[in-house]
Amino acid sequence: MEYLPEMHLHNPATVEEAIRLHDAAPASRYLAGGSDLLVNIRRGIEQPDHLVYLNGIAEMHAITDGPDQISIGAAVTLRELAESVLLREHFAAVAQAAGEVAGPSHREYGTLGGNLCLDTRCVFYNQSEWWRAANNYCLKYRGDTCHVAPAGKKCFAAFSGDVAPALLLFDAEVELAGPDGRRRIALMDLYRNDGMDHLTLTSGELMVAVHVPKMPSAIPTGYAKSRVRGSIDFPLAGVAVRMGLQDQLIADLRIGLTGVSPLPFLVRGLETFIGRRPDDACLEEVRDVVRRQAKAMKTTLTPPHYRRRVAGALAQKLAESIF
């Protein structure tokens, strides 16, 4: 029953109006589905005085099939993404990842933009005000100690959106709009490796759409996540894999990870697998590369060791199953 503080709600009809409203009010936040933000407000992690509600902006709801790219409005819901025939055809991993977020009711109103801009999560952060106060808060919010790594000055809260690693497979770009106009950046550049401040959005900037270039030929992709329960849970580790073969040999290999660090990222060093036969030995090596880069910290109740192992295992399984 944790209650919401008093707030002002604004209902812009255009992106430009939304930015103006956001800019005019101090302590304002953009609100789309609310499945993340409203929980955080109820817990006192976020305390905006103004909410700029994006659902009335038509531009942000469209999925557009262009000649070279598919554009997806940031307010498109995760269910719409998961069910989109277009996405399933071109970017299977993205549709799969969207369909794995939380539970079905969450996906009805949770949005693409919300999932990409999801706040980082940590067991010491996603707690009530009473809890965090009793624990002297934490580095990420109002405190000066990271309870995950008390000796350091870095926040390890983990990015836990499912869709980002899948979009990273396809060189997706995000279209941002702010007080200074619009810009397009690589999705990868939306993130930085800092649990406290993991988004590179500038003040008042809003994600309008995601543009995903079409691939010249279909390359198999897929997404899998580890969680204790079969639904609702955030990923302990989420893995997106893209693997294309030519003449039985690996011609294309990308792996995106989520849930194991403050940002989603593409696994590095996979080019060494190009030209190799994807046999058991090869895929075990892929597994080990993923494990080494999945540097999970104690941000969840499930220990980091497991999250590393399972990230590797899921990558191996996906690579085995998608071609």
Partner 1 sequence: MNKISPIQSIGIPKPLVDGPEKATGKAMFAADFQATDATVGRILRSPVAHANIISIDTSQAEALPGVLAVVTEADCADGYGVLPIAMNEWALARHRVRYRGEPVAAVAAMDVATAQRALDLIDVVYEELPAYFTADEARAEGALDLHDDKPGNIEREVEFDLGDVDAGMAKADLVREVDFHCAEVCQAQMEPHAAFAEYDAARERLTIRPSTQVPFYVHKMLARTMGMSESHIRVIKPHIGGGFGCRTETLQSDLIAGLLARKARGTVKVVLSREETFITHRGRPESHIKMKVGMTKDGTITAVDFTAQQRGGAYSGYGIVTILYAGSLIYGIYDIVSARFQGYRVLTNTPPCGAFRGHGTVKTRFAFENLIDGMATELGLDPFAVRRANLLVAPTMTENDLLVNSYGLDQCLDWVEKASGWKQRKGKLGPNKGLGMACSHYISGASKPKHWTGEPHATIHLRVDWDASITLLTGAAEIGQGSSTVMAQCVAETLGVDMGRIRVIAADSALTPKDNGSYSSRVTFMVGNASIDAAQNLKALLIEAAARKLEIAPEDVECLGEVYRGGQQDQGLTFEEVVMEALKGEGTLAVKGIYDTIPESWGGRKYRGAAIGGTMAFSYAAQVVEVTVDPDTAEITVDKVWVAHDCGKALNPLAVEGQVQGSVWMGLGQAMSEETRFHDGLPLHANMLDYRVPTIVESPPIEVGIIEANDPHGPFGAKEAGEGSLTGFLPALTNAVADAMGVRATALPLTPDRLLELLEKKARDERVSANASGKVA
Partner 2 sequence: MKSTLSLTVNGVTRDDVVPDNLLLVDYLRDKAGLTGTKIGCDGGECGACTVLIDGRPRHACLTLAATCQNAKVETVDGLSRDGRLTAIQRGFHEKLGSQCGFCTPGMIMASEALLRRNPDPSEADIRDALAANICRCTGYVKIIEAVQFAARERTA
Q: Give the binding site for partner 2 (CB under 8 A).
A: 1-2, 4-9, 11, 31, 33-35, 38-39, 42-43, 51, 53, 55, 102-106, 108-109, 128, 230-232
2 touching partner 1, by CB under 8 A: yes
- Torsion angle of alpha carbons 227, 228, 229, 231, nearest 10°? -20
49 touching partner 1, by CB under 8 A: no
User: Cβ of residue 256: shortest distance to partner 1, in angstroms?
Assistant: 18
Selected from 156, 316, 318, 322, the binder of partner 1 by CB under 8 A is 316
Q: Which residues pair with 224 in a beta bridge?
A: 239
Binding mask 123-152 for partner 1 (x = CB under 8 A): xx-xxx-xx-xxx-----------x-----
Judged by CB under 8 A, the stretch of 1-9, 154-162, 165-173, 266-274 that binds partner 1 is 1-9
Q: Which of partner 1, partner 2, none does 313 bind, CB closer than 5 to 8 A by kind? A: partner 1
267-275, long-range: CB within 8 Å, 24+ apart, which pairs? Answer: 267/293, 267/315, 268/293, 274/250, 275/249, 275/250, 275/251
Q: Which of partner 1, partner 2, none does 25 bind, CB closer than 5 to 8 A by kind? A: none
User: Cβ of residue 188: shortest distance to partner 2, in angstroms?
Assistant: 29
Q: Which is nearer to partner 2, 100 or 173 (CB)?
A: 100
Neighbours of 42 (CB within 10 A): 16
Q: What is residue 307's DSSP assignment? A: H
Q: Which of partner 1, partner 2, none does 9 bind, CB closer than 5 to 8 A by kind? A: partner 2
Q: Which is nearer to partner 2, 31 or 139 (CB)?
A: 31
233-236, long-range: CB within 8 Å, 24+ apart, which pairs? Answer: 233/102, 234/102, 234/121, 234/160, 234/259, 234/300, 235/100, 235/160, 235/162, 235/259, 236/296, 236/300, 236/302, 236/306, 236/307, 236/310
Q: Which of partner 2, partner 1, none does 7 bind, CB closer than 5 to 8 A by kind? A: partner 2
β-pair type (173-178, 206-213) = antiparallel
Exposed/middle/buried for residue 67 (C-beta within 10 Å: 0-12, 13-18, 19+) = exposed
Site for partner 1 in 221-260 (CB under 8 A): 226, 228-234
Name the token pair of 227. Answer: 């969680």
Q: Which of partner 1, partner 2, none does 323 bind, CB closer than 5 to 8 A by kind? A: none
193 touching partner 1, by CB under 8 A: no
